[in-house]
Amino acid sequence: MGRGSAPLSASTLVIQTAFLGDVVLTTPLLSALAAQHGPVDVVTTPVAAPLLETHPAVMQVIPYDKHGGDRGWAGLGRLARQLRNVHYARAYLPHRSLRTAALATLARIPIRRGFSGGWSFLYTEAIPKPRAGHETDRLLTLANGAPAVYPPHLRPTTEDERAASGVWDQIAQRPESPFVALAPGSIWGSKRWPYYAELAAQLATAVPVVIIGGQDDAGLGDEIQRAAEGGGGRRRVVNACGKLTLRQSAALIAKAAVLVTNDSAPLHLATAMGTPVVALFGPTITEFGFGPLRPGDLALGVDGLLCRPCSSHGPPQCPLGHHRCMRELTAPAVVTAIEELGALRRRS
Ligand code: SF4
């Protein structure tokens, strides 16, 4: 829903303008808050906005293009005035940032609840963020007394399902035919596992493979597809990178028997869609709180590397140059993990 286009507003506002994966992991908090106060309004990035527009806990999504049309204090002031006119009763602020704190304060929202530290002196209620546990549970502590069991959840539309089925139809040999989805991209270069092409080649001898990602990943997807199809035979690999919206991609992931992904947003999309996951962790580790959530899902990483983890997000390149955390994670090890998961057997 575009800014200002909705006549109805909730009394509760959530401001979450962090990365896409963080927004997906905030959906349990949205559900918990909706259970307490009714559906909420959410300020989020233009990229993440479509994911939340169809969420049952959300009444209205207000896009905030903090790096584009709304950048700087002028953009922030404009949005704050718009929010002030709504007279929200309370704001929840899961993202610790100056912009978030300033926006809620300038919007004069009387109750501003977030995590202590940083700019929390601008909040009216600051609580310590748990250091351990999964990020979804840590974020849920913002919702006082909320039931703890709210999994991440997304709701693609019928049109999204149709678009996803269009890709599926290219590969399916029969209805409900299982396929493996690969998500090879990541904003952070050191988080990209280098053997997706080898993995796709191995998998595609037995099962269709779909490569998922955004427009930025299309070239990488082409490379993987070409390398995987190079051996000929009955290999079926479709590069869907850049061909689907985020919600359509979520709908396609929901149809996959398993998703193989780096430590990046598609991991959380799969969690939200109930799809089994094999997640490949290089410079980061699951103890940071962003690993798979569903029982049985697998996270693979190289043990015993003294340099690992080297960064909370993953640097653009390996600072040591060898990138052993990813290069020593082999394609056969990932195939074995997929077999261990048993997802292909369950969905065939
Ligand atoms: S320093 Fe170590 S953990 Fe970091 S990217 Fe390089 S190999 Fe991976």
pLDDT, tens digit (0-9, with 9 covering 90-100), for 87-105:
999 999 999 999 999 999 9
Give the helix, strand, coil percentages of the chain, each rounded to 5: 40, 15, 45
Mean pLDDT for 1-24 is: 78
Asked whether the predicted pLDDT for residue 233 surpasses 50, the reply is no
Query: How far away, in angstroms, is 136 Cα from ligand 1 center?
Result: 26
Query: How far away, in angstroms, is 332 Cα from ligand 1 center?
Result: 21
Q: Whose CA is nearest to atom 5 of ligand 1?
A: 318
Asked whether the predicted pLDDT for residue 182 surpasses 70, the reply is yes
The 10s digit of each residue's pLDDT in 198-207 is 999 999 888 8
Mean pLDDT for 248-258 is: 95
pLDDT of residue 300: 97
Mean pLDDT for 27-40 is: 95
Q: Quick one: pLDDT band at residue 146, thresholds 50, 70, 90?
A: low
Q: What is the number of the ligand 1 atom nearest to the C-alpha of 326? A: 8
SS3 90: strand
pLDDT of residue 3: 45
Stronger pLDDT, 173 or 236, i.e. the higher one: 236
CB 262 within 8 Å of CB 183: yes
| Mutational pocket test of ligand 1: of 308, 311, 312, 327, the residue with most ligand atoms within 8 Å of the beta carbon | 308
Q: What is the DSSP-derived secondary structure letter of residue 324?
A: H
Mean pLDDT for 170-188 is: 81
pLDDT of residue 108: 97
Query: How far away, in angstroms, is 313 Cα from ligand 1 center?
Result: 12
Asked whether the predicted pLDDT for residue 2 surpasses 60, the reply is no
Task: Compute the distance between CA of residue 181 and CA of residue 166 in angstroms, rounded to an integer.
Answer: 15
Q: What is the number of the ligand 1 atom nearest to the C-alpha of 283? A: 3
pLDDT of residue 232: 57
Mean pLDDT for 285-311 is: 95
Q: CB under 8 Å to 38, separation ≥6 — which residues?
A: 10, 11, 12, 59
| Mutational pocket test of ligand 1: of 287, 306, 317, 325, the residue with most ligand atoms within 8 Å of the beta carbon | 325
Q: What is the number of the ligand 1 atom nearest to the C-alpha of 323? A: 7
Query: How far away, in angstroms, is 227 Cα from ligand 1 center?
Result: 26
Query: How far away, in angstroms, is 128 Cα from ligand 1 center?
Result: 30
The residues lining ligand 1, judged by C-beta closer than 6 Å to any ligand atom, are 190, 282-283, 305, 307-308, 310, 318-320, 322-325
Query: How far away, in angstroms, is 44 Cα from ligand 1 center?
Result: 31
pLDDT of residue 347: 54
Q: Whose CA is nearest to atom 7 of ligand 1?
A: 323
> Lowest-confidence range among 142-156, 270-284, 310-324?
142-156
Task: Compute the distance between CA of residue 318 and CA of residue 305 in angstroms, rounded to an integer.
Answer: 13
| Mutational pocket test of ligand 1: of 191, 300, 306, 323, the residue with most ligand atoms within 8 Å of the beta carbon | 323
SS3 82: helix
pLDDT of residue 36: 92
Q: Which pTM value belongs to this model? A: 0.92
Q: What is the DSSP-derived secondary structure letter of residue 317?
A: S
Query: How far away, in angstroms, is 90 Cα from ligand 1 center?
Result: 42
